[in-house]
Amino acid sequence: MVAKMLSTTGRRKTSTARVFLKKGKGAIVINGRTLEEYFGRKTARMIVRQPLEVTDTQLKYDFTVTVTGGGTNGQAGAIRHGIARALVKQEIADGAGEVLAEDGSSESGGLQKKALRRAGYMTRDAREVERKKVGKHKARKGTQYSKR
């Protein structure tokens, strides 16, 4: 039997991460390197693992990630967003997301999705760098006012 790979996309600032999920033992490979090799900073590694800790699935899935654009913080945030989306998509694919309502009808309100949304990992952080304007030093900083 061939393991089915599930894919999602995560974004943050100017970074885009394609996340491929399959059942495994918890390995995370980013652009052909392990998580520890790719991110030197401990905080970036922590950001990437956050959705797995919230859902308690650290040793359940393997992730293969290709990430482009931005810096290390943006890439870590994009990977976190992609992993959170992949976990929800996997929950729906497994059928665990089907919850019976009081009237007997089924709702797709998965437990993982609720936990990830509550933690803020399902929302794409839309904050981006504002462009520099003509005649300004930076995006908003103008020249110093001189009275004389």
Q: CA–CA separation, 109 vs 44, rounded Å?
A: 30
The H-assigned helical ranges of 29-145 are 35-38, 42-55, 72-94, 111-119
Do residues 58 and 87 make contact, with C-beta atoms less than 8 angstroms apart?
A: no
Report pTM: 0.85
**pLDDT per residue as tens digits for the range 78-135:** 999 999 999 999 999 888 555 555 555 455 558 899 999 999 999 999 999 999 999 9
Do residues 62 and 97 make contact, with C-beta atoms less than 8 angstroms apart?
A: no
pLDDT score, position 96:
59
Listed by start position, the domains of the chain span 6-119
Provide, rounded to the nearest whole percent, the portion of the chain with pLDDT above 90: 82
Hunting for tokens 């936990």 — which residue is that?
Answer: 115
CATH topology for the 6-119 domain: Ribosomal Protein S5; domain 2 (3.30.230)
